[in-house]
Structure 1
């Protein structure tokens, strides 16, 4: 992603999906706010994943946050594939 203002391809990506999680390593959700402001997107379509405890954000943190938001335990999709 390049700096602000965002490329049209960013808007196109968001519009092509029902929702897009926005992972940020700050408390205020600045990236999400900029996306909403520039493109006029309903903020409900951009669920935030915020990490701001001073430690680096990890893939595990992001995966757990998204899984919690959609109600699917991390690894459940992979387990279902293996049992099929």
Structure 2
């Protein structure tokens, strides 16, 4: 199946994973994050079709053909 991956404002991270991607059927949010090869020490905000997906829900939230998958870096500041 195909999904639209968007990687937003990640300084120093190549957007090579962004765009239309083919993924296996029954892929989860966790599967897609792993496939994007992002730095593992970071925690990312994820939107699936513009709705947030919590960290607890990622391992069992499955994607569907045509979904929009958006990844944001952690927000830091003070």
TM-score w.r.t. the length of structure 2 is: 0.25
Q: Which has the larger radius of gyration?
A: 1
* Structure whose residues are more often helix by fraction: 1
